[in-house]
Structure 1
Amino acid sequence: MLERLSKCPLCKSGLFLNYTEIIDHAVTKEIFVLCKCSNCQLLFTNPRPVQEKIGPYYDFPEYYSHEDKAKNITQWIYQKVRNYSITKKITSIEKMIPTGSLLDYGCGTGELLVAAKQRGWKIAGVEPNDKARKQASQKLNKKVKASIDELKKNSSFDVITLYHVLEHIHQLRKTVKKIVSHLKSDGYLLIAVPNHQSWDGKKYGQYWAGWDVPRHLYHFGQDSMKKFEEEFGVELKETQPMKFDSFYVSLLSEGYMVKSSTLISKYSKAIRAGLNSNRAAKTPGQFSSNIFVFQKK
């Protein structure tokens, strides 16, 4: 079942136009329309599956963030890179706040929270996916909730992270307001999102894996992130690159573009594309994926 939006999910403007059509290469091969808001420049899927019916679109082998065990070489590499990235994320967070309380919204199987807990952080997690949440809860003594509404109303955190999560949230404005309400007065909100304006986004076009419709409901750029600041009472302090994402996204994109290509060919082309994408990103915010570091006003 699809729902059609009459207003921009970010700024509530009714002024938007059809932007492009993208195929769900990963699962159904359905075609979805992306609209572009004339006010804030957000791209969003419209119409889109309703929240209660989107689950089957996540049911495919390459959706690795809900899996703990590697079943193939690509997933093994993904998990090794994820482990390295978690160390980098914790180090980056501790440059802002040496220790404190951390909420990871969309925590998957809980690896970031496990690492933070080992370094002395007080942790909590939210993960809507049943399978991933069960795995995370086993590691974290049931500190992972299914919804933001299950957190204690008076709970507050020094840092709240959403790594590749914001683009999946159906009730965007309502959920982000709830998330920010759990942020301490000087707390930090870290949001990682893919960048369709990156070099690899432009190279692969309709085949770019970062579109990932209909799982990715939104696509943020510099303009829409400025509007995000205004709407939710936060201030952008820094933009950080996620340099490994260009390789992973390029690998998936190569598979979508040339189905008959060999694994060696896909990997070599993906490595070249990832390197080119990172080289082309002259300033923060131009990489395949970026982390936007906000502080509560």
Structure 2
Amino acid sequence: MKNQTKFISLKDHSVSGESFDLIYSQYDDILETSPQPSAKDLPKYYQSEDYISHTDTRRNLLEQVYHIIRKSALKKKLLLINSFDSDTSNSLTTSTSNSLSTKEKKLLDVGCGTGDFLKTAKDNNWSVFGIEPNPDARQIANLKTENSVFDIPKLLDFEESSFDIITLWHVLEHLPKLEEHIQIFNSLLKPDGHLVIAVPNFKSYDANYYKKFWAAYDVPRHLWHFSQTGMKRLVESFGFKSQKTLPMIFDAFYVSLLSEKYKRGFMNPFMAFWIGLRSNLKAKRSGEYSSLIYTFKKS
């Protein structure tokens, strides 16, 4: 990265309480967490009962909201991957089944957590595979997918041009070897295959409002933080063509709820709803939603 400057200092609110800096690269328009934990130390920052993507618990308001949002999100994710089934279609299909062709369609979900998206896709005629480094989450996911989820080293065992679609739902920001992984995804996709990446957007209104308390920074688990320019510039440099950028409307509310907890010491659902709503309303003009889904096609 070039022309690096310190962007903000903040701490790990959910696990360690340690402090980190975010370094801005003007050339890349990406933020980098500094210092980044070593590969040996990184797993300890995920050792928390509150790390919700690794569990199926519903113990409190935050977890209940998460599951409500996830249920809606799963339907939209399925519609999205089904829409790629035919390049002649320019819009999302309104059915979860009628767009599927008779040939086998293969999906790889990287960082699949407890496997709910894979199960949803599998139940709708997709051949599914997942990558999940957390052993507890992987065990849960395998119960839902008939043992189709593997640890990270499996990425290198798949044959080239194996998959029609590779998805990363709030996962790319966690990968230490960012460029190396994007190159691997390119090699694993079939010609004209699609890469789908969902990440937080540090240029959203809620990010600017909460600043060092913005929950989606989530240092040091989030090693990278993307703008729209930065994401497209990065992925397109590996031979992909940007197609669509789609909003994740509910993320603004969920992230604001957690950010309120970090900022005030307790969850304030009314203020969180207000900030989430303002963020989405402002994004209708700017396009800078709290989280965004980027779709790319392998050239």
Q: TM-score, normalised by structure 1?
A: 0.90
Q: Say if 1:222 and 1:285, in contact at 8 Å, map to a contact too.
A: no
Q: Say if 2:161 and 2:191, in contact at 8 Å, map to a contact too.
A: no
Q: Say if 1:159 and 1:183, in contact at 8 Å, map to a contact too.
A: yes
Q: Does the alignment pair 1:280 with 2:282?
A: yes
1:47-62 matches, cutoff 5 A:
47-62=35-50
The secondary structure found in structure 1 opposite 2:279 is: helix
What residue number does 1:94 align with? Answer: 82
Q: Say if 2:15 and 2:45, in contact at 8 Å, map to a contact too.
A: yes
Q: Which runs of 5+ in 1 are unaligned?
A: 1-7
1:123-138 matches, cutoff 5 A:
123-138=128-143
Q: Does the alignment pair 1:74 with 2:62?
A: yes
1:7-46 matches, cutoff 5 A:
8=1, 13=2, 15-46=3-34
Q: Does the alignment pair 1:235 with 2:235?
A: no
Q: Does the alignment pair 1:145 with 2:147?
A: no
What residue number does 1:4 align with? Answer: none
Q: Say if 2:107 and 2:165, in contact at 8 Å, map to a contact too.
A: yes
Q: Say if 1:34 and 1:44, in contact at 8 Å, map to a contact too.
A: yes
The secondary structure found in structure 2 opposite 1:112 is: helix
Q: Say if 2:165 and 2:196, in contact at 8 Å, map to a contact too.
A: yes
Report the Cα distance in structure 2 between the residues aligned to 1:253 and 1:141, rounded to whole angstroms. 37
Report the Cα distance in structure 1 between the residues aligned to 2:207 and 2:179, rounded to whole angstroms. 26
What residue number does 2:208 align with? Answer: 202
Identity %: 40
Report the Cα distance in structure 1 between the residues aligned to 2:284 and 2:150, rounded to whole angstroms. 39
The secondary structure found in structure 1 opposite 2:190 is: strand
Report the Cα distance in structure 2 between the residues aligned to 1:284 and 1:18, rounded to whole angstroms. 25
Report the Cα distance in structure 1 between the residues aligned to 2:17 and 2:46, rounded to whole angstroms. 13
What residue number does 1:3 align with? Answer: none
What residue number does 1:5 align with? Answer: none
Report the Cα distance in structure 2 between the residues aligned to 1:152 and 1:121, rounded to whole angstroms. 17
Aligned residues: CA RMSD: 1.5
CA separation of 1:285 and 1:58: change in aligned 2, threshold 3 A? farther
Q: Does the alignment pair 1:167 with 2:173?
A: yes
Q: Does the alignment pair 1:222 with 2:228?
A: yes
Single out whichever of 208-217 and 28-37 deviates more from structure 2: 28-37
Q: Which amino acid aligns with 1:162?
A: L
Q: Say if 1:195 and 1:286, in contact at 8 Å, map to a contact too.
A: yes
Q: TM-score, normalised by structure 2?
A: 0.90
Q: Say if 1:237 and 1:294, in contact at 8 Å, map to a contact too.
A: yes
What residue number does 2:89 align with? Answer: none
Report the Cα distance in structure 2 between the residues aligned to 1:296 and 1:155, rounded to whole angstroms. 11
What residue number does 1:291 align with? Answer: 293
CA separation of 1:283 and 1:187: change in aligned 2, threshold 3 A? farther
Single out whichever of 140-149 and 199-208 deviates more from structure 2: 140-149
Q: Which amino acid aligns with 2:280?
A: N
Q: Which amino acid aligns with 1:231?
A: S
Q: CA deviation at 1:58?
A: 1.4
What residue number does 2:95 align with? Answer: none
Q: CA deviation at 1:284?
A: 7.4
